[in-house]
Amino acid sequence: MSEISSKPQSQTSGLAVGSLVCGVLFIGLPAIVLGHIALRKIARSDGSLSGRGLALAGTILGYLSVVALTIIVILSGLVVGGASFVQRKAAIDRAKVQLEIFELKITEYMTDAGGFLPPTSEDDVEARSGIIIYRMLYGDGIGADGIAGTADDGALDGRPDEGAIVYWADLDPINNNQNMINKRGGEVPVAVVDPWGNPWRFRNQKGNPDQQNSHFDLWSVGPDGKNGTADDIKNW
Ligand SMILES: [Ca+2]
Ligand SMILES: [Ca+2]
């Protein structure tokens, strides 16, 4: 009895309690730091501080929550990375399908136009080839002769000219249900674009050493948006 009363009353370490609270709440770093400080103080207190068990529990929970958080971060990184890979693949597949359809429809158009295709210059390939595709396949702004790239071509209004053949209805700029038309915020189409929003390139320039096909070259600059790189999607 006298022995017990001669010992000073031990006090529970506030840091230990704090560590446990943080640990239970899965706040990892504070739980670990408070826990370690508490354990050291309790060890040096010569019995005046108690709560070693609380501090240990808080520290362990702190480490567990750091490990759990790390795993969650790694897993979510994998999920995001996987999703973006799938999206990239889907966009490439969509571009390949569009390329095949464009090639088929332009060939149909060319046959109907007696073999004539709008000639392009180097500037056209850069700046306007996307809209040449639209004129040919949607019949907008092609004039009374029904052929794109001739002197009677008119302004675009987003609708096929009277009597014009629509070769691919999905190029309708009003519904734009395939997002192939860029109107730059206005009513009138500015370019036929690939799944990455860049204009499709069309080249019909006899004598240009860059021209690959005898009829016409058609390509997307691909996911990287740069012309002439390995990811280009092209009809040669
Ligand atoms: Ca015309
Ligand atoms: Ca490219």
Question: pLDDT tens digits for 47-59?
Answer: 899 999 999 999 9
Average pLDDT of the chain? 91
Closest CA to 118 of 150, 93, 141: 150
Q: Which ligand is nearest to the CA of 154?
A: 1
CA of 188 to the centre of ligand 1 (A): 18
Q: Which ligand is nearest to the CA of 196?
A: 2
pLDDT confidence tier of residue 208, bands split at 50, 70 and 90: confident
CA of 129 to the centre of ligand 1 (A): 16
pLDDT confidence tier of residue 123, bands split at 50, 70 and 90: confident
pLDDT recorded at residue 136: 94
Q: Which CATH number fits domain 94-234: 1.25.10, 3.30.70, 1.10.3470, 3.30.700?
A: 3.30.700
The whole-number average pLDDT for the span 57-81 is 94
**Residue type present at position 104:** L
CA of 220 to the centre of ligand 2 (A): 7
Q: Which ligand is nearest to the CA of 148?
A: 1
pLDDT recorded at residue 126: 65
**Dist. CA 134–CA 128, nearest whole Å:** 10
pLDDT recorded at residue 127: 65
63 CB neighbour count, 10 Å cutoff: 15
The whole-number average pLDDT for the span 199-218 is 90
Domain ranges in the chain are 2-76, 94-234
Q: Which ligand is nearest to the CA of 153?
A: 1
CA of 178 to the centre of ligand 2 (A): 21
pLDDT > 90? residue 160: yes
pLDDT recorded at residue 187: 83
CA of 233 to the centre of ligand 2 (A): 8
pLDDT recorded at residue 2: 47
The whole-number average pLDDT for the span 123-133 is 77
Give SS3 for 192.
strand
CA of 169 to the centre of ligand 2 (A): 27
CA of 236 to the centre of ligand 2 (A): 15
pLDDT recorded at residue 14: 94
